[in-house]
């Protein structure tokens, strides 16, 4: 007859419960679901077998980290070896667990039969619900304190050891940048429509959104635009001809008059758009600096924004580095790929990398080959950025030149240099740069140590003179 023992991992320790009448319970899942809420009925189904509390909070955190990754902790292994009933000739022991990965690890190390589906999950739900009542001398307050403390420690450790935390800044920055582009485009169109009732001719003279908003902010009421304001207008537009055209159009404009209240609202909205545009520029500069420090080779090869979008789509730089070149090539075109597979048509040749200048400059018949070559180089660049100890943009610059040479080869047939030679040169240059950085760091450290020694001497002399 089969025997079922259920393992429950609590914030205070590991517990084993013996399930009574295993065969009967297995055939009636609905009965288990009904008895989960009723403590009296539930205690007839299960019985406490063993409990091993955690010695310290560090031990609890280490155990929960291992279990979350599907690894069997040493303390749990000893607990199971000691307390799980031995398998006899006439009986077989089945261990019920909540996590399938942990169950596979237990099966591999201890050879126990594992069950993690069906009524086992209902029994574990009942244990979780009635745990303070099932444990003698266990205070419900203690359970809450233990769960809260372990939860905070686990979350803190995950944030602290998150290898993607630098990538997260890039992902959020590029997402915000794309959102700002959409919003600014919508807001700029609203300003054009709103202000065009008063000064419709300005729309054609100043087509750029940011400049249009700045000009509207400077002019205000077109009737107040005089030759005295021409100097300031020229500084904004950086074009004397356009400034003169705006002045002449303002004098003979067919737009309607605008009240001071309406103009105030237009200018308030314009100020917001101008400030958002300036923030967008500073955010773009921040993203450029961040990509230069986190993924310099990708930034040098394909540009900061396209590289950041690839990292965002993959989830992290490490995830992107794990992707093969064929996946990098169509990253961002998943819908088109699945549509092509469903309708049995040609699959897409490129995804996000289409925004690169190399794909745009390639001829129509060479776009597929150019995207394949670029994705190969991107895959290499992402791996160098993700796993190198001293990242630099030398490899990215060399691979960018290789892409340029490949485009020339498509157009003229001129053979590019061999990849082995190019990578050898890049490696030599990176080693030289690394040596220079090390020598610079040592010289800086020496200067600091000298300054510290001088400051110590001065302090000692001041003390002696004071005495």
**Cβ-based burial of 231 (10 A; exposed 0-12, middle 13-18, buried ≥19):** exposed
Residue 1: its pLDDT value, please? 47
| Contact yes or no for 220/263 (Cβ under 8 A) | yes
Residue identified by tokens 């220079």 is 436
pLDDT digits (tens, 9 = 90+) for 39-72: 788 888 888 888 888 888 888 888 888 888 888 8
Angle formed at CA 186 by CA 183 and CA 188, multiple of 5 degrees? 105
Residue 373: its pLDDT value, please? 93
Query: Does 162 score more than 70 pLDDT?
Result: no
Query: Does 275 score more than 90 pLDDT?
Result: yes
Q: Model confidence at 134, in pLDDT bands (50, 70, 90)?
A: confident
Q: Which helix (H) or strand (E) holds 423?
A: helix 419-466
Query: Does 467 score more than 70 pLDDT?
Result: no
Residue 94: its pLDDT value, please? 83
94 beta partners: 4, 113
What is the spatial distance between Cα 300 and Cα 292, in angstroms, rounded to a whole number?
A: 8
Q: Model confidence at 90, in pLDDT bands (50, 70, 90)?
A: very low
DSSP code string of 216-284: HHHH-SGGG--GGGHHHHHHHHS-HHHHHHHHHHHHT--PPP--HHHHHHHHHHHHHHHHHHHHHHHHH
Q: Which residues contact 168 (CB under 8 A, 6 or more apart)?
A: 162, 316
**Cβ-based burial of 50 (10 A; exposed 0-12, middle 13-18, buried ≥19):** middle
HSE-up (13 A, CA, CB side) for residue 31: 11
What is the spatial distance between Cα 79 and Cα 95, in angstroms, rounded to a whole number?
A: 13
Tell me the pTM: 0.64
HSE-up (13 A, CA, CB side) for residue 267: 14
Residue 460: its pLDDT value, please? 66
The pair of three-digit structure tokens given for residue 126, joined into one six-digit string: 């009942």
Average pLDDT, the chain: 85
């Amino acid at each position: 007859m089969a025997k079922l023992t259920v393992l429950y991992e609590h914030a205070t320790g590991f517990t084993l419960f013996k399930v009574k009448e295993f065969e009967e319970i297995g055939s009636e899942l609905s009965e288990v679901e009904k008895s989960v809420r009723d403590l009296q009925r539930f205690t007839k189904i299960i019985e406490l077998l063993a409990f091993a509390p955690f010695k310290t909070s560090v031990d609890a955190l280490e155990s929960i980290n291992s279990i979350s990754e599907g690894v069997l902790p040493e303390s749990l292994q000893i607990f199971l070896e000691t307390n799980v009933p031995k398998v006899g000739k006439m009986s077989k022991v089945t261990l019920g667990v909540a996590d399938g990965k942990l169950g596979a690890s237990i099966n591999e190390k201890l050879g126990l039969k594992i069950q993690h589906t069906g009524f086992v999950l209902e029994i574990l739900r009942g244990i979780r619900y009635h745990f303070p009542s099932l444990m003698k001398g266990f205070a419900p307050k203690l359970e809450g304190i233990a769960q809260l403390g372990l939860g905070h420690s686990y979350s803190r450790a995950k944030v602290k050891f998150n290898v993607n935390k630098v990538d997260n800044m890039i992902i959020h920055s590029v997402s915000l940048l794309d959102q700002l582009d959409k919003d600014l485009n919508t807001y700029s169109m609203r300003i054009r429509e709103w202000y065009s009732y008063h000064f419709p001719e300005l729309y054609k003279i100043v087509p750029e959104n940011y400049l249009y908003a700045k000009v509207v902010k400077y002019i205000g009421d077109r009737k107040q635009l005089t030759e005295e304001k021409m100097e300031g207008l020229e500084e904004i537009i950086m074009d004397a001809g356009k400034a003169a055209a705006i002045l002449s159009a303002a004098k003979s404009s067919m737009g309607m008059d605008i009240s001071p209240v309406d103009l105030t609202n237009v200018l308030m909205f314009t100020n917001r758009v101008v400030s958002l545009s300036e923030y967008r520029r500073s955010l773009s500069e921040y993203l450029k600096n961040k990509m230069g420090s986190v993924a310099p080779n990708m930034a040098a090869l394909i540009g900061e924004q396209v590289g950041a979008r690839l990292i965002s789509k993959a989830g992290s730089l490490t995830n992107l580095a794990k992707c093969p070149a064929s996946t990098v090539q169509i990253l961002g075109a998943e819908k088109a790929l699945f549509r092509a597979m469903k309708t049995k048509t040609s699959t897409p040749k490129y995804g996000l990398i289409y925004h690169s200048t190399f794909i745009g400059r390639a001829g129509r018949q060479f776009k597929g080959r150019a995207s394949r070559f670029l994705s190969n180089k991107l895959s290499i660049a992402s791996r160098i950025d993700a796993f190198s100890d001293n990242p630099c943009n030398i490899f990215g610059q060399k691979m960018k030149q290789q892409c340029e040479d490949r485009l020339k080869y498509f157009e003229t047939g001129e053979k590019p240099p061999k990849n082995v030679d190019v990578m050898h040169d890049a490696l030599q240059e990176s080693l030289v740069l690394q040596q220079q950085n090390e020598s610079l760091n040592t010289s800086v450290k020496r200067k600091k140590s000298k300054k510290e020694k001088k400051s110590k001497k001065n302090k000692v002399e001041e003390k002696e003179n004071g005495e």
